[in-house]
Amino acid sequence: MANATSNGKLICDRKDELRASGVFFGGNPLDFATPVLFLQLSVSAILTSIIQLLFNHRGQSSFFSHMLTGILMGPMIWGDSNPIVRGALTYRSLYINQTLALFGCTLFLFSIGVKTDLSMVKRTGKKAVIIGVLSFLVPITLNTIVAAILKHTVKMHPDIQQSIYFVASFFALNSFHVVVCLLADLNLLNSELGRLATSSSLVSGMFSWCWIIILYTIMQGSIGKQETVIWMFLSLACLLMIIVYILRPVMVMMARHTTEGKSVKEGYISAIFMMVLGCSFVSEVIGQHMIIGPIFLGMAAPGGPPLGSALVNKLDSFVSSVLLPSYFILTGSGISILNVHWQAVIIIQFLSFCNLLAKLLATVLPSLYCKMPPLDAISLGLIMSVQGVTDVMILQHAQNLKLIDSQSFTIMSVSIVFMAGIITPLVKFLYEPSKRYISHKKRSIQHSHPETELRMLAGIYCQYQTPSIINLLELSNPTAKSPICFYVVHLLELIGRSAPLLITHRPGRKNSVQMQGSKHMINAFRLYEEINEGTVVVNLYTAISPFVSMHDEICSLALEKRVSLIVIPFHKQWNTSTEIEVLPRATRSVNQQILQNAPCSVGILVDRGTTTSTNSMSSKSLYNVGLIFVEGPDDREALAYAMRMAEHPNISITVTRLVDSNKKRREGRTNHQELEDERIINDFRIAHAGKQHFVYKEEFVCDSVETVGIIRSMEDCYDLILVGRRHDSNSPLFAGLTEWNEFPELGFVGDMLASSDSGCQVSVLVMQQTLAKSKNTTTDSSVMVDIPHKLTRVWPET
């Protein structure tokens, strides 16, 4: 006989074979557990995809889609007696589903622990600590007071009366993982608001988990003898000591024995999974929930590469695609409104509203006191109010311990889903981080004074791009009169951690985080800085973040440091003859986002091998730079950069201007852009008139065919070609080229030089100038976010 439970009742069912013999033998697949389980997972995947398709544009979280799928598949929608529910949600299938779901929860929460960076607590600023503490203490205090008033003044169902204090406590909980997942779904992890929410939720989440462990231990211990509680706490302390002083050193040793760039041994991964199962078993033995041990083990595991990243890569897809859907199906099967009283709904929803109000007050008031704009403070309060999958797991365990009844579990679960569905799109509407990068000043090379410090920033995806960036820095002609302050950001994908990191590398400091390839990059730039002491200052960073929000690291740093030019590598890299794919495809999206949101000028470097030699300036008598000038601000920015390069004694500049021969220029009919073009061209010619290594020529063209011909003729004449990105697509010079544009982020001219069918063997730098916004430009308050440096958005290595 096989046992299954439903609504607190024990149901005995005949234990048949798990696998059906097939419809051709007269068998009904729905009479067997395994086909029903596969049916449940298939329907769950389809429904989840449909819900995400319908709601993703509104910014809904993945938790909302999965939980809503579980509810739609459960008896809440179809009823207990519906043949669909009776066929797809048989107790026999739920018995197996429960095993999968609990195993999935164990691995899921272990993965959460691995991603949690406890060292963030030491780096958390005072504002985040205050908000984190208040967002736990204020709601739990206010909720308890409201629950006491309701219990003594309102006549309610005995089950609700017994559960009301626990309901109040569970509503007040916060989870670090839930907040981080919400921020990831909204692409806000790298924003200033996202960093503050991450730090605050880590503090409040620690208080919440400590409260839950104490509460569950006391309630379970109260069933036995008086000394049971003491023994449970002592046993838990022993488990923690074993994890910290035995298992963690073993995992650290595994990480140290893994060579950088190589995968972790399968034996190490298997050993850690055995540790997870062992900690889960010990947790059950000492009277705790089975997830407690795996959570602490995950927190003790070394985060990030190589070990943390390997564990997350092994777990994420399988757990999120197979095991967690089983959990949501199981949860949905336990949610039914048929036995729910409306009075209970009103009471619990009133507590939910009071909890939301308390969390908003606990977050908004200290934020306003710290001079945060009102809309940002409200957005932060809403983010801190969201609950998710870990809270539902806590509620299920509370129901098993009879701390809350089935009515309370149903109402609270639906309330959590409803609040997530409302808050997530509301935060997306209120807070738009890209508007923070709007600049009211023209931050570009053209508008920088030629005899002042030039600030540049380069993003590097891998160490192989270091030589070309250093060579471009040398081409920029740093001098004592016009030194260059150069910011270098090594961009790494966030794997094995929940929260992004932006680390500054200071000379003489030891690495606190193991980074792939950063060491060689740091040494190369430090050496260049020493050789050019007095003319170049290099500031080095490593940014670890998801690709989807990686551009925020570049744009926010450029805004903070008042940079005039951002240089980023093209997502494809060549040697002198062969195209080589060396970067993840997601880097192209990062480049496009930087072009769209950057507060200053941007240059995309297409490196074909002619700029990768660090000795290129010294090994050649002249370094030939060509410039194709058509019209517009981007071409003017490229020319302004070329004017700076032209001062270098080892650089030869050739400016080729393409002039539309069909365009009639009459006095008084020239527009402002044409006047700007003529002015900078004249300034350039006057400044370099008579110089030996300067050539200016004009080519008259009438259509796109002649334009392509001129550009093709220049492909092998230079070491580097500068071009502007944006041109008028309606111009006869570019007619018909839109359909052939393979890489729109490079513009028409840059795309011709970088396309796969081009014979170009030289490197290309595509320039885009940022246009200053009007003073009347309407922006939301996110432009004014000011997070004090004490919050350590960027922290040094220790």
Query: Is the residue at 789 inside a domain?
Result: no
**By CB neighbour count within 10 A (0-12 exposed, 13-18 middle, 19+ buried), where does 761 fall?**
middle
The verdict on 483 and 384 lying in the same domain is no
Q: Which residues of 50-72 are buried (b: 16+ CB within 10 A; e: fewer)?
A: ebbeebeeebbbbbbbbbbbbbb
For residues 335-354, average pLDDT: 88
Say if residues 383 and 182 touch (Cβ distance below 8 Å): yes
Query: Is the residue at 771 inside a domain?
Result: yes
In this predicted structure, what is the pLDDT of residue 461?
92
For residues 433-456, average pLDDT: 80
Give, for 702, the enclosing helix (H) or strand (E).
none
Sign (positive or negative) of CA dihedral 576, 581, 587, 588: positive
Query: Is the residue at 13 inside a domain?
Result: yes
Q: Please report, as a single letter, which amino acid is at residue 99.
A: T
CA distances from 593 to 434, 504, 750 (A): 10, 23, 18
CB-based contacts of 50, cutoff 8 Å, min separation 6? none
In this predicted structure, what is the pLDDT of residue 788?
36
Instruction: Report whether pLDDT(90) > 80.
Output: no
The verdict on 499 and 425 lying in the same domain is no
* Measured distance between the N- and C-terminal CA atoms of the chain, rounded to whole angstroms: 60
Query: Is the residue at 428 inside a domain?
Result: yes
SS3 at position 722 = strand
User: Residue 692 and residue 142: Cα distance in Å, rounded?
Assistant: 79
The three-state (H, E, C) secondary structure of 483-503, written as one string = CEEEEEEEEEECCCCCCCEEE
Say if residues 513 and 501 touch (Cβ distance below 8 Å): yes
Q: For residue 445, is it left (φ>0), alpha (ψ between -120 and 50) or beta?
A: alpha
Instruction: Report whether pLDDT(291) > 60.
Output: yes
The verdict on 458 and 428 lying in the same domain is no
SS3 at position 659 = strand
In this predicted structure, what is the pLDDT of residue 23?
63
The verdict on 531 and 570 lying in the same domain is yes
pLDDT-wise least confident of 98-112, 411-425, 432-446, 619-633: 432-446
The verdict on 156 and 294 lying in the same domain is yes
What confidence category does residue 660 fall into, taking pLDDT thresholds of 50, 70 and 90?
confident
The verdict on 320 and 463 lying in the same domain is no
Query: Is the residue at 512 inside a domain?
Result: yes
**DSSP state string for 308-357:** HHHHHHHHHHHIIIIIHHHHHHHHHHT--STT--HHHHHHHHHHHHHHHH
Query: Is the residue at 203 inside a domain?
Result: yes
The verdict on 490 and 369 lying in the same domain is no
For residues 280-285, average pLDDT: 91
Query: Is the residue at 316 inside a domain?
Result: yes
The verdict on 715 and 628 lying in the same domain is yes
Instruction: Report whether pLDDT(511) > 70.
Output: no
CB-based contacts of 42, cutoff 8 Å, min separation 6? none
pLDDT-wise least confident of 195-204, 524-533, 657-666: 657-666
The verdict on 538 and 410 lying in the same domain is no
Give, for 144, the enclosing helix (H) or strand (E).
helix 126-153
CA distances from 673 to 449, 635, 735 (A): 21, 11, 20
Instruction: Report whether pLDDT(57) > 80.
Output: no
Range of the domain at 66: 2-432
- Look up the CATH number of the domain holding residue 227: 1.20.1530.20
The verdict on 341 and 479 lying in the same domain is no
pLDDT tens column, 143-172: 999 999 999 998 888 888 889 999 999 999
- Average pLDDT of the chain is 82
Say if residues 588 and 571 touch (Cβ distance below 8 Å): yes
pLDDT tens column, 107-117: 988 988 888 87
Instruction: Report whether pLDDT(388) > 50.
Output: yes
In this predicted structure, what is the pLDDT of residue 191?
82
pLDDT tens column, 665-674: 444 445 788 8
Q: Which residue has the tokens 């003491």?
A: 230
The verdict on 483 and 386 lying in the same domain is no
**DSSP state string for 240-262:** HHHIIIIIHHHHHHHHHTSPTTS
In this predicted structure, what is the pLDDT of residue 780?
34
Top pLDDT among 87 and 145 is at 145
Query: Is the residue at 627 inside a domain?
Result: yes
**What pTM did the predictor assign?**
0.80
Top pLDDT among 147 and 223 is at 147
Strands 484-493 and 454-460: parallel
pLDDT-wise least confident of 13-27, 47-61, 63-77, 120-134: 13-27
Question: By percentage, how much of the chain surpasses pLDDT 70?
Answer: 82
List, edge to edge, every strand of the sheet that includes 536-545: 694-701, 651-660, 623-629, 720-724, 763-768, 601-606, 565-569, 454-460, 484-493, 536-545, 501-505, 795-796
Say if residues 751 and 743 touch (Cβ distance below 8 Å): yes
Cis peptide before 306 (omega within 30 of 0): yes
pLDDT-wise least confident of 281-290, 436-445, 523-532: 436-445
pLDDT tens column, 768-796: 998 655 443 333 333 333 333 333 334 33
Instruction: Report whether pLDDT(258) > 90.
Output: no
User: Residue 50 and residue 65: Cα distance in Å, rounded?
Assistant: 9
Give, for 757, the enclosing helix (H) or strand (E).
none
Apex 754 CA angle, 624 and 702, nearest 5 = 80
CB-based contacts of 597, cutoff 8 Å, min separation 6? 434, 437, 551, 555
User: Residue 372 and residue 445: Cα distance in Å, rounded?
Assistant: 33
Give the tokens for residue 61: 């979280």
pLDDT tens column, 686-731: 888 777 888 899 988 888 888 888 888 888 788 899 999 998 878 8
The verdict on 350 and 477 lying in the same domain is no
- Look up the CATH number of the domain holding residue 625: 3.40.50.620
Count Cβ atoms below 10 Å from residue 126 Cβ, excluding itself. Answer: 11
> Considering its fold, how many domains does the chain have in total?
2
User: Residue 691 and residue 501: Cα distance in Å, rounded?
Assistant: 48
- The candidate with the shortest Cα–Cα distance to 89, out of 334, 414, 389, is 334
For residues 606-611, average pLDDT: 74
In this predicted structure, what is the pLDDT of residue 653?
92
